[in-house]
Amino acid sequence: MNNAELAKIAKAMVAKGKGILAADESTGTIQKRFDKIGVENAENNRRDYRELLFRTSDAMKNNISGVILYDETIRQKAKDGTPLVRLIEQAGAIPGIKVDAGAKPLAASNEETVTEGLDGLRERLIEYHKLGARFAKWRATYDPINGRPSYNCINANAHALARYAALCQENGIVPIVEPEVLMDGDNDIEACAAVTEWVLKETFQQLYYANVVLEGMVLKPNMVIAGLKCDRQASVGEVAERTVTVLRRCVPPSVPGIAFLSGGQSDEAATAHLNAMNAAHPQLPWALTFSYGRALQAAPQKAWSGKMENVPAAQAAFRHRAKMNGLAAVGQWKADLEKMAA
């Protein structure tokens, strides 16, 4: 695959009014989601749940550009024997795959992490491409409290993200580069802005050194937002303005799009923040859209609760959240649309 083909896929991933469904929860992570709704974490339940999402055809066709899958999911088949990857493709969306091995303790550091998974990655990417994946995701995390992150942590993760991205492009796969400044602590929005800017600048420096083609990648960053435990939570407008300011300082215009993670935000907050950015800044050099997991799935999971008779209600909940975020991706969402749906 040449650079033009990679760029074409990357643009399709951030197409107007569409975003990415992050359905790449590990078996351990989805256990936590299923525990909340009283569902056994069994292979058939994981399959049934994800199948109901991928078969919500209007949501998938109108508002979902791609789906990030887990290793198990990219190999699974629906009840009727159709590969789940094929369901995604039939809906006009692009299958993707999570390829990192998770954040592990960074040696000799102040409780920091580095994401592992580079060993054997080339071979895994070759296999995933054969299975239908046309993009991949690698997540690195940084904690902006207690003097963290250190330069060692930022540099180690930036280097790994760059090596991963180069390997993806070498194998015809568009890399989603995900450097996430966490929002679990008590840090204020100023700390998040400073750390996010530092992380993004170092990440793009390493991407340059690794010869990554920026036109053939998608950035998946955090929004600039105060920690959940911070006493002062910024307004929707302030989050939007601070986030756009940092992105303008750090992200080259050759990157086709930025697909935000939702982090620990509520469903509606993640939508409102994305909408505010697009409404106030319609002429940015890159598309601003979503790559949400929990903010797209919490409502359908609750509606489903593991019961076949609840599938229509779960699909309706997913359809609604996908539509709301699709509107936010073009700056046309309004809060009263949420109330009407309720």
Tell me which residues are annotated as active site: 220
Q: With the C-alpha atoms ordered 152, 153, 154, 159, is the resulting torsion angle positive or negative?
A: positive
Q: With the C-alpha atoms ordered 66, 68, 74, 76, is the resulting torsion angle positive or negative?
A: negative
CA angle 322/290/341 to nearest 5° reads 25
For the chain, the first-to-last Cα distance in angstroms comes to 46
Sorted by sequence, the CB contacts under 8 Å of residue 50 that are 6+ apart come out as: 23, 73, 76, 84
- The identity of residue 297, as a single letter, is Q
For residue 150, give the 3-state DSSP assignment.
Answer: coil
Pairing mode, strands 113-115 and 103-105: antiparallel
Give the separation between CA 193 and CA 323, rounded to whole angstroms: 29
Nearest one of 220, 222, 227 to 178, comparing CA atoms = 220
In 3-state terms the chain splits into helix, strand, coil percentages (rounded to 5) of 50, 15, 35
What six digits make up the tokens of 95? 């299958």
- The identity of residue 195, as a single letter, is V
